[in-house]
Amino acid sequence: MNDCERFFLKINRKYLIADLIAMAVFTVFGGGWLIAVIFYAVSIEVCGMNYLLVLHFSGDDGDALNLAKTLPIERRVFYRSYIKMMVLQTAVSSAVYATGTVIGNVYGLRIPFLPDFLLPSGTMLSTLGYYALILCLVLWVFIIMSGFPNRCSAIKRSMLIIGTIYIPIVFEVFYLLFLVIAGLILQKSLTYQVFAGISVAALFAMAAVFGIFVKRNLKKFVTK
């Protein structure tokens, strides 16, 4: 673990603890509700922005990025740690939520105190439907939001876009991947597996776009 990763964990300690508590609660009550995904999106956004803001990695112009650039951190490492920690947080959250969903459905641990439409679906199809819908909404809101701070630097805007738009896609990839693995373990039907496989492949393609975006942004970040 490098200095930047330790720094990420240190400044987000309180948020990460809250995140763990929330994950435990969501898991006990059935796992991957849509509300859990929204909570997750907000949580990861808070942690990511906190990482950037504490080091003053923000400002209305490019030369206002003082503290982060005076610290003995290689910019490449600073940037990579940002992506790495957010993806790691995503992986852990989605694994926990997916496990919670599976356990909830198989063993009936789910406590239906929320309206039906907020409960995790028992089938891959409706789960995907829920998540696709919410993802679209979240993406549109964030696309509009990330366009608002038009006075901020291109780098900050790119960082915001990574945090707010692309990371939820990675979440989807992980979430579905874990569901597929769970499906395999539980020996679900062939149709289920084929459908899930196609979904995961599509999401991997989206993740590849994310990868290209991250790489291009890294180049911009290191040279500006």
Partner 1 sequence: MSNILEVNGLCADVGRFSLKNIDLVLEPGTIMGFIGKNGAGKTTFIKTILDIIPKKSGTVKFFGKSVAEAEKETKSRVGVVFDSLIYPQSYRAKTVKNTIAAFYKDFDDAKWRRLMQKFELDEKMKLNEYSKGMQMKFQIVMALAHNPDLLILDEPTAGLDPVARTQFLDMLYDIISNDCKSVLFSTHITSDLDKIADYITMIDGGQIIFSRAKDEMLDHYALVHIEKEKADERVKSMFLGFHETSSGLEGVMKKVLAQSLDCVKTAKPTVEDIMVYQSMALKQ
Least Cβ distance, residue 43 to partner 1 (angstroms): 20
Q: Which stretch binds partner 1 (CB under 8 A): 2-10, 21-29, 179-187, 203-211?
A: 2-10
Is residue 56 a contact point for partner 1 (CB under 8 A)? yes
Q: State the Cα angle at 64 between 62 and 69, rounded to 5°.
A: 90
What is the Cα–Cα distance from 164 to 43, expressed in whole angstroms? 11
CB 60, CB 151: distance < 8 Å: yes
Judged by CB under 8 A, the chain residues 9 through 38 that form the site for partner 1 are 10-11
Binds partner 1 (CB under 8 A): choice among 21, 67, 118, 133: 67
CB 106, CB 188: distance < 8 Å: no
Least Cβ distance, residue 215 to partner 1 (angstroms): 19
What is the Cα–Cα distance from 198 to 5, expressed in whole angstroms? 34
Cβ closest to partner 1, residue 48 vs residue 100: 48
Is residue 219 a contact point for partner 1 (CB under 8 A)? no
Binds partner 1 (CB under 8 A): choice among 52, 65, 152, 170: 65
Cβ closest to partner 1, residue 74 vs residue 205: 74
- DSSP alpha helices (H): ranges in the chain? 3-11, 13-28, 34-54, 66-70, 75-107, 124-147, 154-161, 167-185, 190-223
Is residue 216 a contact point for partner 1 (CB under 8 A)? no
Token code pair at residue 30 = 């059935």
Give the residues lining the site for partner 1 (CB under 8 A).
3, 6-7, 10-11, 53-54, 56, 62-63, 65-67, 69-75, 223-224
